Structure 1
Amino acid sequence: MTSPLSLIWTITAATTLLQTGNGLLQALMPLRMQASGLSVSSIGIVAAAYGLGFSSGCFLAPASIRHVGYIRAFASLAAIAAVVILAMARAETTLAWALLRGLSGVTFACVFTATDGWISARATSSHRGRILAVYMICTKIALMLAPLGIALGDIRSDGLFMAVSALMSLSLLPIAATSTQEPPAPRSVRIRVKSLFLAAPSAVVGSFIVGLVNGPVIAITPVFGVSIGLNQGEAAALLFALQAGSLLLQWPLGWLSDRSDRRYVIAGLAAGTTVVSVVILLASKLGAGLVILWAFAAWGGFALCIYSVCVAHACDIVEPEHIISTIGTLLFSWAVGVTVGPLFGALAMAALGPGGLFIYSGAVCFVLAVFVLVRIRQQKRERARGGFVDVSPTSSPTAVLAPRAETAAAAGGKEAAGGAARPEEGQG
């Protein structure tokens, strides 16, 4: 009998290699731009270009997969991503960086749509949990450990960009070795922001604010670290701490959200992010390096977990036939936030110094906490329906793995997964 994990080992290996390269790129790009003399505002513009490219890729991906299939779509787009990374080694102006980063956003969205769509098609009720756990753990560990590789090279040379490009190219090998049949091509996701906002405003606003906050923090953290006196290896370690905190707290927070009105968890995570932002601000002024590292882990545990609780909350409310559309709408809300958020974060940092990034993130998360608490007072809800599933804002095709999504598939809804995937998360 075929093992469930044997159905996904090639796509999991390929995604892990991609996320290893993506994680290293997240640390490398802002440090390289800063070393080249670009301002924090320019770095924010480049990060916003990635969000714009990624959100565009969310809508282009289904057509690409329908046209050539999952395997050819992955191979061609991963190859394009590898070439784009090499071109970044020659970028000097803000415009060049923005164009290349925007193009990388389009390619990553399409690539991860193909990988996540493949995983979703292979996951059935009998082994859904095992497949998702292996897939998520591998990709999260890759994102967590990859930034530490920044200490192995010189950010002013081209070696690290070549390493990232090599990892993208190597991801083609597992795909080329696959012997399983690829899944049916997806159809487009229908985006219904207004109707979902009326049904679950906390989820829509929460997803948008997750993009507003997580986008700039992940994109600018290495620059923040260098600006407060850390070396490039220590600055990259802050990204490691963010992802490690998310990995450790995701499931305990999910367990808690399954046993209460999920909005309390969203509000608590937002409030916790505000408090930890203040701690980071104070610790950076005092030069308390170890405190900063632990505070970043706590920040990642809180802020990077909000989106998955928003997804679970929305899926508790909508009818099963609208689950897939709901996931696509929340991803779109997140993508809008991650497009404009880096601009605001960079402006705050330019105006208020390095700590401005966390003044901004703390203030925005405080607004989210207040909004959700007001909604709780206005609309009482029963405890959660259905189980919590660990998803990132970069994984809309894993909508099939969200609460009650299997019911939606059985109901024969008209929308199919294919909206697109990954940054944090997988986000860059």
Structure 2
Amino acid sequence: MNFSLALIWTITAATTLLQAGNGLLQALMPLRMQAEGLSVSAIGVVAAAYGLGFSTGCFLAPAFIRHVGYIRAFASLAAMVAVLVLVMTQAHSTLAWVLLRGLTGVTFACIFTVTDGWISARATSSHRGRVLSFYMVCTKIALMLSPLGIALGDLRTDGLFMAVSAVISLSLLPIAATSTQEPPAPLGVKIEVRDLFALAPSAVVGSFVVGLVNGPVIAITPVFGVSIGLAQERAAALLFALQAGSLLLQWPLGWLSDRADRRYVIAGLAAGTSLISVLILVASAQGAQDLILWSFAAWGGLALCIYSVCVAHACDIVDPGRIVSTVGTLLFAWAAGVTVGPLFGAVAMELLGPGGLFIYSAVASLGLAVFVILRIVQIQRAPVKGGFVVASTSSAAPTVVARTEGIASSQDGDGGVPAQNSASAVTREETSS
């Protein structure tokens, strides 16, 4: 476990800085657009443009990584994002915001394919949930704290955008100075939604619904807060609460998902998200600001952790050489949800008032829970006993692979290709969710 963390510290540090800038940008953009007179629907269209750009980037990312490698890909893309943020200071129309947000979607899709692919390639199946959780905890601290920076500047000036660009530029330093060997270039370069859905439908549908729900909530939360009567700083603090809740539960959920069928975790998180969405509606109707804040923390602790469990679940099942394509496919599924989710969320708010956002969240999350439960009922997984050795790391030890393993593998410390269990094809067919 410690060896796995040593292999990912540079990409984790770089992504943490990147997400610090991204978190402030998430709070800044909708408030800036609202201050300039854009409607909730227009803000939803801008958020949808991000999802559309992200979908496009998912197709481009694997081939780009294969061509230039992980390190050069991250460095060039982070520099591009920093420039796009500076250009946002000159955006004064819906069209300009749509174009710029779409371009940031393309670049962030490629960046997150780099980071998630790097992390997943370095993690073994027995530690994958915890390694992903460590990575997510670091980035969520950045996402949690950075929106509070909205109180340090004036929305109508360019200072906060310049700060975002500077922090994103700093994310280049850990990558540029790293002495850690990057993972091998990915073997697969295709987005394979149909093939991955056949192997792990719960992961694909889960990623899509996460985009449907998390996309509009994160994009519109500051506007939601202002609409129910919260001050600007208090509305931005709702994003802090979302990430704080996610931070607190990320590691325990990663630990749990390494010891149980990850589908149970996905279903439980989705059902909990639906219930907390109803609680937010009640708290908003009563004007209970403290309860609203705590409810947002609970919502973030559940909803924002679903995606990483979906990634871990899918990576357990696919061949090691397809991990990057798998991550890219799940990002594409997420991005497809993000493309249409903000439109649905904005329409729900327009038709039903501010609370419409969380009526939509409750319904979509409940649908995911029902889907995954049906999959669990249809496909009963027997525990698969197998073993794996992490060479140069620890001695071999027998491991019970509890309903999550499609392969049993061994991986050397240099990122060598894991050896596939001879029965993996049968096991994968029997255990696909």
Structure 2 length-normalised TM:
0.81
Report how far residue 221 of structure 1 moved. 0.7
Instruction: State how far apart, in whole Å, the 1-side matches of 2:66 and 2:97 are.
Output: 30
Structure 1 residue matching 2:138: 3-state secondary structure: helix
Pairing 1:410–2:418 present: yes
Structure 2: which amino acid aligns with 1:378? Answer: Q
Counterpart of 1:207 in structure 2 is 207
Contact 1:88 1:97 in 2 (8 A): yes
1:308 partner letter = S
1:320–1:405 CA contact under 8 A, matched in 2? no
Aligned-partner Cα distance in 1 for 2:288–2:309? 32
Task: Give SS of 2:90's match.
Answer: coil
Map of 1:34 onto structure 2: 34
Gaps of 5+ in 1: 388-401, 414-428
Contact 1:148–1:240 under 8 Å retained in 2:
yes
Which has the larger displacement, 307-316 or 264-273? 307-316
Q: Distance in 2 between matches of 1:174 and 1:68?
A: 18
Match of 2:251 in 1: 251
Deviations 1:224-259 (A, max 9, x none): 111111112111111111111112122333444445
Alignment match, 2:275: 275
**How far apart in 1 are the matches of 2:188 and 2:139?**
25
- For the residues of structure 2 that align with 1:317 and 1:180, how far apart are their CA atoms? 27
Superposition pairs for residues 47-196 of structure 1, below 5 Å? 47-119=47-119, 134-196=134-196
Shift of the 4–336 alpha-carbon distance from structure 1 to 2, 3 Å rule, reads: closer
Aligned to 2:356: 356
In 2: Cα distance, 1:281 partner to 1:6 partner: 43
**Structure 1 contact 261–383 (Cα < 8 Å) conserved:** no
Q: Which amino acid aligns with 1:337?
A: G
3-state DSSP of counterpart to 1:186:
coil
> Identity rate of aligned residues, in percent?
77
Larger mean CA deviation between 54-63 and 268-277 belongs to 54-63
CA contact (8 A) 2:320 2:418 kept: no
- Structure 2 CA distance, aligned partners of 1:203 and 1:191? 14
The range that moved more, 74-83 or 31-40, is 74-83
Alignment of 1:372-391 (within 5 A): 372-382=372-382
On the 8 A contact 1:262/1:384 being kept in 2, the answer is no
The Cα of 1:101 is off from its aligned counterpart by 0.6
For residues 96 and 213 of structure 1, the distance between their equivalents in structure 2, rounded to whole angstroms, comes to: 25
* SS of residue in 2 equivalent to 1:89: helix
C-alpha displacement at 1:348, in angstroms?
0.7
TM (normalized to structure 1)? Answer: 0.82
Structure 1 residues 256, 186: CA separation in 2 closer, same or farther (over 3 Å shift)?
Answer: closer
Distance 1:31 1:262, change over 3 A: same
RMSD: 3.2
Question: RCO greater where, 1 or 2, for CA within 8 Å and sep 6 or more?
Answer: 1
Alignment size in residue pairs: 398
Gaps of 5+ in 2: 388-403, 412-416, 422-433
